Chain A
Amino acid sequence: MRSLAICMTFAMLFTTCTKDLDLEPAYGLNSASVYEDPGNYINVLAKVYAGLAVSGNQGPAGSPDIAGIDEGFSQYTRVMWNLQEICTDEAVCGWNDVGIPELNTMEWTASNSFVKAGYSRIYFQITLCNEFIRESSDSKLDERGFSDSDKNRIRMMNREARFLRALSYWHAIDLFGNVPFVTEEDAVGAFLPEQIDRASLFNYIESELLAIEGGMSAPKSNDYGRADQGAAWMLLAKLYLNSQVYTGVARYAQAAEYAQRIINSGAYALSTEYRFLFLADNDEAPAVNEIIFPVRFDAMNTQTWGGGTFFVHAFLGNDTQDPVEFGVNGGWAGYRTKQAFSSKMDTVGDTRNTLHTEGHQQLVEQIGVWTNGFPNSKYRNVTKTGDLPADADPSGNHVNTDFPMFRLADAYLIYAEAAARGSADMGTAMGYVNDLRQRAYGDNAHKVSSMTPLEVLDERARELHWEGHRRTDLVRFGLFTSGDYVWEYKGNSPTGVGVPDYINLYPLSADDVVANPNLVQNTGY
């Protein structure tokens, strides 16, 4: 009896290992041999890009990059989307999955599993970027004796990896603030990164983007899905737009400058119809003309339970909607809008209003009830004609819908916000806004001649809802925590209450604060 109990405890809790496992790797590929061949760099870069799209080395799941959370939850765009949306007026999630209820009600702690997943995912991506940047440095390329044309090709990839690192550091500065700082100078291994303050990280991201943008591909001249100058300018514009939050110094004029560079490049054009931007063929004209930087998804080749698959399934419920119209085998019935947001939408004529109302009440009275709040039918796995894409997943699980992380309409509205704040030309700005409104309504009857900053914020909600911008926007306007603007279950009050200002930042992952004594947790947590 005694030994049985002990054996059972051991078997369930731990397994032990012996020195038999101290073997040398028996396979031929290692980092030295991979980087000897100039043809391999593109494959490694593909893994860096894939860091935004897939959750591990096996699709859709099975060999996760990061642990401690359901693999699908940990996918880059899925976890970022959750951290940006369900804590705001735009969205709520009814699932009782670990970590989600506290995001709905802004009651997260430093050990929240989405906080940990978002944080870990960002640093996994930064580590991947650092590795590629280190291995594609000029000195390494010289050492390996590559031809000049190979070197130039790899240098271009090196800039793209630096863009991707800047992108992840932008997510870090926005969500977590003062974070660990690692660059290509820090080789992989056992060390304790230093913490960087938010303003210094801002300067670093800015300097990186300014250093690489000149050498990147011209807008729309790279393979679709790879970063070009347009992507770098957009990231600069978004960085400057939020400079007041990140550094205490407003830089709206520079936000407008880089937004206008994108617009004036002439490489981009608004999609003819709003809805095309979120369909399975959004990698084709006219939608593709508007998209500055997408995260690409393919139903057969980049399978994941996050990304496009998540956007289509999770926002759809079988009780009140027809999955056939969405090109998938069924919904996951999770996410709806809150009334505070849905009441901003124009119910007549605005084609950006993609909310499904039939069978739903507008007010989110109970978070767990699917029919409380309108779901958003924005993302679909069908083409412009409403058909399944030609290379659809026969199982109906995975989708071809790309995620438009940066698009031209956002650049327009960045310029408009700068104008409304007195840092850019109002006439030009209203031209941009009216282009958006003309597309939205299909007529010229909804033009505006000037806008206040708050009106731009509302226009951003109507145009860019459920695209992962909302928390950042509300923080910039001081409305994320304030009691001046509330929504259902803000601060876990059914009618909404203000919450302390420290909530503007997520906490650093509690596990990392323990593991790395150099880190000081964000105030309040």
Chain B
Amino acid sequence: MNDRIYGSIDYYRKNTDDLLAVVDVVAGTNFTNEILTNVGSMTNEGLEIELSYIAIDKKDMDWRVGMNFTTNRNEVTKLTQVEDPNSPGILVGGISGGIGNNVQIHAVGHPTFSFYVYEQQYDASGSPINAGALRDRENPDFNGDGVVNALDRYSSLDAFVDRNNDGVINEDDRYIYEKPEPDFFMGFSTDFSYKRWSTAFNLRAEFDRYTYNNVNSQRGNFQSVPTNGSSTNLNSNFLETGFTNTSVEQFLSDYYIEKADFLRMDYFNVNYNFGKILNETMSLSMGVNVNNVFVLSDYSGIDPEVVGGIDNSIFPRPRIYSINLNVTL
């Protein structure tokens, strides 16, 4: 094949110990209640496949293709010095909305930064139920007792699954649901040239990754509009949910954990090389280039590719068109 195909397959498993984590200090024994110490362990395991292929290699025509495929599975294996079957783990991932609310967790046996959420319940028409909202907006006095009061509204027990069946919705009802890091990555790049023309692009995809849509959870309800003497904009997610009320459980609902798989073209360019011009005193090439050409995704936010898995105040990624003129004297 004249060295035109190159490929590699790697399997890896990496154990990491003595990771820094915050642990609790026994009350009454020191001048603080938490301390940072080396206790955590985790493993990363996966497969990496690379392939490159020179499809055409002729004097006037050249075409190269590269592909890669990677899997990665990350798991926390130890978090505390003393094993604690009752502790869910270490809460991380602060969100916008309320103070001190965290939507992620490091828990033994799960990937780092897993989402730790309440399980949303849905009504007969498939809409998420909103704790605190009227059960029936057409007929506010739902129970027909002559007054519209809290009894005519959905309770948190209506809106969320009481996973431990103790009759109340509280932090004991949260569960671990998905994680931000993808299980699979794929990449594809190619460049092609014919005589003086050349073109190149790449494609990149990530699968089985999830993002917490904090923009929707914070802004997609009517209650967030008037804010202590001023007003804010209502997010269009309101049109889907009709949420009038918000609550801690609502912020931390699994409804807002969205699958954020995507396929993105990072760049595409075309170049023409004029070669030597003006009596061979200079050389000239010209091209057009597009960055961030497109992204295909079912994710409802502005960009599925959010570092850390919490989508709240990301800087929108621009699409950049540029024209290049290259002159060499």
Contacts and interface: CB of A to CB of B under 8 A. Distances in A.
Nearest to A68: B34
A70 B100 contact: yes
A98 B98 contact: yes
B251 interface: yes
Interface string B216-243: 0000000100101100000000000000
Contact of B150 (A66, A332, A365): A365
Interface string B159-186: 0000000001111100000000100010
B285 interface: no
B247 A107 contact: no
Nearest to B92: A13
A273 B29 CA distance: 45
B113 A128 contact: no
A323 B32 CA distance: 36
Contacts of B86: 510, 514
Nearest to A95: B98
A36 B86 CA distance: 47
B33 A317 contact: no
Contacts of B308: 12
20 contacts: A5-B181, A9-B44, A65-B31, A73-B100, A95-B99, A98-B248, A99-B100, A100-B248, A102-B170, A124-B32, A127-B28, A127-B30, A127-B31, A131-B31, A186-B29, A366-B245, A494-B155, A512-B24, A515-B25, A515-B82
Contacts of A367: 132
A96 B18 CA distance: 35
Given A2-B70, A366-B132, 6 more contacts: A2-B12, A6-B14, A96-B98, A101-B248, A107-B170, A318-B228
A166 B206 CA distance: 59
Contacts of A124: 31-33
Chain A contact-residue range equals: 35 or more
Contact of A319 (B99, B113, B149, B228): B228
Contacts of B27: 119-120, 123, 180, 193, 509, 512, 515-516
B150 A495 contact: yes
Interface in B239-283: 245-251
B133 to A, nearest CB: 10
Contacts of B246: 96, 368
A108 B22 CA distance: 23
Contacts of B1: none
A14 B28 contact: no
Contacts of A1: 48, 68, 70, 185, 187
Interface in A87-131: 95-102, 105, 107-109, 111-113, 116, 119-120, 123-124, 126-128, 131
A367 B246 CA distance: 10
B26 interface: yes
A333 interface: yes
A119 B26 CA distance: 11
A133 to B, nearest CB: 13
B38 to A, nearest CB: 8
Residue with the highest number of chain B CB atoms closer than 10 Å, among A67, A126, A190, A369: A67
Contact of A70 (B19, B21, B97, B99): B99
B213 interface: no
Contacts of B151: 494-495
Interface string B112-133: 1100000000000000000010
A331 interface: yes
B193 interface: no
A523 interface: no
A192 interface: yes
A15 B20 contact: yes
B228 A333 contact: yes
Interface in A470-525: 488-489, 492, 494-495, 509-512, 514-517
Nearest to B249: A101
Please provide the 6 A-B residue pairs with the shortest distance between their CB atoms, ordered closest to farther: A494-B150, A318-B229, A182-B28, A98-B100, A120-B33, A123-B27
Contacts of B10: 2
Nearest to A65: B32
B48 A2 contact: yes
A131 B18 CA distance: 32
A13 to B, nearest CB: 5
A210 interface: no
B32 A97 contact: no
Given A6-B14, A494-B151, A14 B248 contact: no
Contact of A492 (B18, B74, B80, B168): B168
A14 B33 contact: no
A368 B29 contact: no
Contacts of B251: 96
Residue with the highest number of chain B CB atoms closer than 10 Å, among A111, A182, A495: A111
A330 interface: yes
A191 interface: yes
B106 interface: yes
Nearest to B170: A107
Contacts of A149: none
Contacts of B307: 8
A69 B99 CA distance: 9
A41 interface: no
B170 A109 contact: yes
Interface string B49-70: 0000000000000000000101
A211 interface: no
B220 to A, nearest CB: 14
Given A5-B185, A192-B26, A69 B20 contact: no
A450 B6 CA distance: 98
Contact of A66 (B32, B70, B102, B187): B32
A189 interface: yes
B312 interface: no
B29 A96 contact: no
B100 A69 contact: yes
Contacts of A186: 28-29
Contacts of A509: 27
Contact of B24 (A192, A331, A511): A511
Nearest to B95: A98
A68 to B, nearest CB: 5
A317 B226 CA distance: 12
B112 to A, nearest CB: 5
A16 interface: yes
A123 B70 contact: no
A120 B308 CA distance: 30
B304 interface: no
B20 A14 contact: yes
A258 to B, nearest CB: 28
B199 interface: no
B84 interface: yes
Contacts of A14: 19-21, 40
A282 B206 CA distance: 63
Interface string B75-111: 0000010101011000000000111111000100000
Contacts of A310: none
A211 B277 CA distance: 103
A188 interface: yes
Contact of B99 (A97, A190, A494): A97
A193 B149 contact: no
Contact of B247 (A189, A319, A368): A368
A252 interface: no
A363 interface: yes
